[in-house]
Chain A
Amino acid sequence: MAKPATAPRAASRVVVPSRTGAGATDPGTALTWRRKLQLVLAGLWVLDGLLKLQPFMFTKDFAPMGLGEALDGAPGWLAGPIHWASGIEQRNPISAMVAFALIELAIGFGIAWPRTVKLGLAACMVWVPFLWFFAEGLGGLASGSPSPFGAPGASILYLALAVLLWPVEQDGLSEAARFIGIRRAQALWIVLWGLLAFLAFLPANTAPGTFSDAIAGNVEGAPSGYVWLLDHATRAANGHGQVLGIALGTALVLVALSVLAPWPKAARAGVVLAIVLAALIWVFAQGLGMPFQGMGTDPDTGPLLALVALAYWPARRPASATETIVASAAAEGAAA
Chain B
Amino acid sequence: MNAPNWLSTLLSIAMIAVACYALARMLIAQGWRRGVDYETDALLLLAGLATAGLISNWARTLPRPGWTVVFVAGGVYLAVRAARVWTDTRARRPLLGGLGCCAVLVYAFTADVAPSAIHGSTAGAYTMAGMPGMIVDQTERFPALGLALVVALAFASVVAVNRAGSMPQIEQGPAIGGPRDGAPVPLSPRSVLLCHVALLLVLAFAILGKIV
Shortest distance between the CB of A59 and any CB in chain B (Å): 5
Bound state CA distance, A94 and B155, in angstroms? 25
Bound state CA distance, A109 and B1, in angstroms? 26
Q: What residues of chain A lie closer than 8 Å to B30, measured between beta carbons?
A: 5-6
Task: State whether the Cβ of A13 lies closer than 8 Å to any Cβ in chain B.
Answer: yes
Residue of B nearest to A296 (CB): B147
Q: What residues of chain A lie closer than 8 Å to B155, measured between beta carbons?
A: 39-40, 43, 46-47
A98-B7, A112-B161 given as contacts; is B2 within 8 A of A1 (CB)? no
Q: Are B201 and A50 in contact (CB under 8 A)?
A: yes
Q: Are A11 and B181 in contact (CB under 8 A)?
A: yes
Q: Are B124 and A11 in contact (CB under 8 A)?
A: no
Task: State whether the Cβ of B102 lies closer than 8 Å to any Cβ in chain A.
Answer: no
Shortest distance between the CB of A69 and any CB in chain B (Å): 13
> Quick check: which of B45-53, B58-66, B125-133 contacts chain A, the rest being far away?
B125-133
Residue of B nearest to A109 (CB): B161
Q: What residues of chain A lie closer than 8 Å to B210, measured between beta carbons?
A: 55
Bound state CA distance, A2 and B187, in angstroms? 11
Interface size class of A (residues with CB under 8 A): 35 or more
Shortest distance between the CB of A33 and any CB in chain B (Å): 14
Task: State whether the Cβ of A333 lies closer than 8 Å to any Cβ in chain B.
Answer: no
Bound state CA distance, A163 and B38, in angstroms? 43
A26-B166, A47-B154, A55-B2 given as contacts; is B143 within 8 A of A292 (CB)? yes
Shortest distance between the CB of B79 and any CB in chain A (Å): 14
Q: Are A293 and B34 in contact (CB under 8 A)?
A: no
A59-B120, A113-B162, A223-B143 given as contacts; is B170 within 8 A of A1 (CB)? no
Q: What residues of chain A lie closer than 8 Å to B90, measured between beta carbons?
A: 28
Q: Are A5 and B175 in contact (CB under 8 A)?
A: no
Task: State whether the Cβ of A17 lies closer than 8 Å to any Cβ in chain B.
Answer: yes
Shortest distance between the CB of A220 and any CB in chain B (Å): 5
Q: Are B124 and A56 in contact (CB under 8 A)?
A: yes
Per the 8 Å Cβ criterion, residues 147-170 of B in contact with A are: 147, 150-151, 153-155, 157-159, 161-170
Please name 21 pairs of A and B residues whose Cβ atoms are closer than 8 Å in the assembled complex, sorted by A. A1-B37, A1-B39, A4-B184, A5-B35, A6-B33, A11-B174, A11-B178, A11-B185, A13-B171, A13-B176, A15-B171, A31-B162, A40-B155, A46-B154, A53-B205, A56-B121, A56-B122, A61-B121, A61-B132, A112-B161, A114-B166
